[in-house]
Amino acid sequence: MEVSILLVADYANVTLDGKLNIMGVFHNINALSFPAAHPEMHLITQLKAGPAEYERAFTLEIKLIDEDATETLVDESFDLVVPRGTAGQSVYMNHLLRMVNVRFPKPGTYQFSVLVDRDEKDSIPIEVRQVSMVGDGS
């Protein structure tokens, strides 16, 4: 099993016929002060599994950790099963994690990690920066 898509965005959904819609992909969060809460974001993960993994049960874990790997801000776990594909083809599984008001204690580089059965398959950094207000005279 491998990660074929890993993104952070403002919004995402999957249609009834399996189309993945993603809006507002980003890699940075700007904040005026800390701790800072980001109002809403979605982690989009698409997993690809081959025919040998059809009907295999697995645990998907999503973690968001700080740059020192000392604090975990998000830690979610999902028990899933690989669906049976057709004609021996790979299957693609979309997983969307909506997060509301995630609190970042300080500026820095945070990392989303995707693990399958405790094995890290991919990660994506998010840079959280302190900015000043535009036009505040400072």
Amino acid at 38: H
* pLDDT-above-90 percentage for the chain: 90
Q: What's the rounded mean pLDDT across residues 41-54?
A: 97
Domain membership flag for residue 70: yes
Domain membership flag for residue 33: yes
Classify burial at 54, counting beta carbons within 10 Å of its beta carbon; exposed 0-12, middle 13-18, buried 19 or more.
Answer: middle
* pLDDT-above-70 percentage for the chain: 96
Report the pLDDT value the prediction gives residue 5, as an integer from 0 to 100: 98
Q: Which residue has the higher pLDDT, 88 or 121?
A: 121
Domain membership flag for residue 137: no
Report the pLDDT value the prediction gives residue 87, as an integer from 0 to 100: 84
Residue 138 above 60 pLDDT? Answer: no
Give the CATH number for residue 105. Answer: 2.60.40.10
123 pLDDT band (50/70/90 cuts)?
very high
133 pLDDT band (50/70/90 cuts)?
confident
Average pLDDT over the chain reads 94
Q: What is the DSSP letter of 52?
A: G
Residue 135 above 60 pLDDT? Answer: no
Q: What's the rounded mean pLDDT across residues 61-79?
A: 95
Report the pLDDT value the prediction gives residue 134, as an integer from 0 to 100: 61
* Pairing state between β 57-65 and 72-81: antiparallel
Domain membership flag for residue 55: yes
Amino acid at 72: T
Domain count for the chain: 1
Question: Distance between CA 45 and CA 95 in Å, rounded?
Answer: 5
Structural domain including 105 reads: 2-130
